[in-house]
């Protein structure tokens, strides 16, 4: 069974022949575009694109599929957006959502943006805050949904595992190759008492190595942490999703990573699930995350 998102991705990529531009257009990550095209090609049994280091071109089969499929995809999108009495009216809802900062921007926001493209009558308010505040406000009914990596102990809060991320240790290029030889390890944390960082160091450094750890600073922004790592020749522990772009650009390098990924959850108060429209929105997010993995 072919996935609608994959067909939409194919048509967009066939128009601009750029994986990076297609990712921007569809508000997702470039690896997601590559993975969807690969799955689509495997399902169809032939290559849709001819790839080289510098160019992307349609294969003869891809060109024929574009000719047949392009107008159909555009028509389906037009119907979904314009049909006020059909599917779109089901999602004329107002959602209040909270999320961790960078995970919300990088992982959650693209899915919300796509939802609003198809259901423009809906309104979604996304607040970026600490995991603790997200869990507290979900438990009190101040938020409909939350996106977190640590769970509340409230029995009335339901959690749905949706994706995973891998904690990694990064260093600037100068430090990366020789960090274990340094007299002290200079770390930048996300907060003053960074349990995420401390837990990683306990798993990856010996007791003797941990005595060499020196905390330079803390700042609750992953972008700012990466900047400090580069300027201060320091190190940090962050989710791989948050550092991948900086790694790809050669700004920092990954020197250690956890073998066990960290689970991220969508959470909500159990009463929210009674509302069929909000339950449908939750199901949409779960499906989007599932298709991305």
Which residues lie below 8 Å from residue 257, measured CB to CB, with a gap of 6+? 166, 167, 168, 169, 240
Residues 35 and 166: their CA atoms lie apart, in Å, by: 19
Q: Convert the pLDDT of each residue in 86-123 to its tens digit.
A: 444 445 789 999 999 888 988 999 999 888 887 878 89
CA distance 102 to 290: 20
Tokens read off for 30: 């470039």
- Dist. CA 84–CA 61, nearest whole Å: 36
CB 272 within 8 A of CB 145: yes
Q: pTM of the entire structure?
A: 0.62
The owner of tokens 């199901």 is 283
* CA–CA gap between residue 36 and residue 211 (Å, rounded): 46
Please report the pLDDT score of residue 202 as a whole number: 92
The Cα-based distances of 164 to 2, 29, 101, 191, 240 in angstroms read 25, 15, 16, 22, 10
Coarse DSSP helix, strand, coil percentages of the chain, rounded to the nearest 5 percent: 50, 25, 25
DSSP secondary structure string for all residues of 246-269: HHHTTSEEEEEE-SSPEEEEEEEE
CA distance linking residue 175 with residue 178, whole number of Å: 6
Radius of gyration of the chain (CA): 22
- Digit-by-digit pLDDT tens for the chain (293 residues) are 566 678 888 888 988 898 888 888 777 788 888 888 988 888 888 999 998 877 889 999 989 988 888 787 776 666 554 444 344 444 578 999 999 988 898 899 999 988 888 787 889 999 998 888 999 999 999 999 999 988 888 888 999 999 999 999 999 988 998 888 888 999 999 888 888 899 999 999 999 999 999 999 999 888 999 999 999 999 999 999 899 989 999 999 999 999 888 999 999 998 888 888 888 899 889 988 887 66
Residue carrying structure tokens 């994706």: 163
- Quick one: angle between helices 109-118 and 276-292, nearest 10? 120
Partners of residue 6 on adjacent β-strands? none
Give the DSSP per-residue string, 83-123: -TTTHHHHT--EEEEEE-HHHIIIIIHHHHHHHHHH-TT-E
Q: What are the CA-CA distances from residue 176 to residues 64, 124, 243, 265 (Å)? A: 48, 41, 15, 32
> Per the structure block, which two tokens stand in for 276?
């069929």
Four-point Cα dihedral 228, 234, 236, 242, nearest 10:
50
What is the DSSP-derived secondary structure letter of residue 205? S
Listed in sequence order, the residues at least 6 apart from 197 whose beta carbon sits closer than 8 Å to its beta carbon are 187, 189, 190, 236, 237
Report residue 150: phi and psi, to 5°. -120, 140
- Residue 91, CB-side half-sphere exposure with 13 Å CA sphere: 21
Per-residue pLDDT of 238-282, as tens digits, reads 999 899 989 999 999 999 999 888 999 999 998 888 888 888 899
């Amino acid at each position: 069974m072919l996935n609608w998102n994959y067909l939409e991705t194919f048509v967009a990529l066939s128009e601009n022949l750029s994986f990076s531009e297609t990712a921007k257009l569809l508000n997702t990550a470039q690896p997601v575009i590559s993975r969807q095209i690969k799955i689509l090609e495997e399902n169809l049994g032939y290559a849709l694109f001819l790839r080289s280091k510098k160019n992307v071109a349609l294969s003869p089969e891809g060109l024929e599929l574009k000719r047949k499929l392009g107008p159909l995809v555009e028509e389906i999108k037009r119907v979904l957006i314009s049909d006020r009495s059909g599917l779109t009216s089901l999602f004329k809802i107002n959602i209040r959502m909270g999320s961790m900062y960078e995970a919300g921007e990088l992982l959650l926001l693209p899915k919300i943006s796509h939802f609003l493209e198809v259901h423009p009558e809906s309104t979604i308010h996304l607040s970026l805050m600490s995991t603790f505040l997200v869990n507290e406000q979900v438990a009190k009914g101040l938020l409909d949904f939350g996106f977190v990596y640590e769970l509340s102990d409230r029995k009335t809060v339901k959690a749905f595992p949706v994706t995973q991320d891998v904690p990694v240790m990064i260093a600037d290029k100068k430090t990366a190759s020789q960090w274990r030889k340094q007299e002290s390890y200079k770390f930048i944390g996300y907060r003053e008492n960074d349990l995420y960082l401390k837990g990683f160091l306990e798993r990856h450094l010996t007791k003797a190595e941990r005595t060499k750890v020196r905390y330079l600073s803390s700042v609750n922004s992953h972008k700012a942490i990466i900047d400090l790592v580069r300027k201060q020749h320091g190190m940090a522990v962050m989710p791989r999703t948050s550092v991948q772009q900086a790694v790809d650009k050669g700004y920092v390098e990954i020197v250690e990573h956890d073998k066990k990924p960290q689970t991220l959850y969508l959470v909500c108060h159990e009463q929210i699930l009674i509302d069929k429209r909000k339950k449908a929105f939750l199901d949409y997010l779960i499906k989007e995350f599932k298709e991305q993995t």
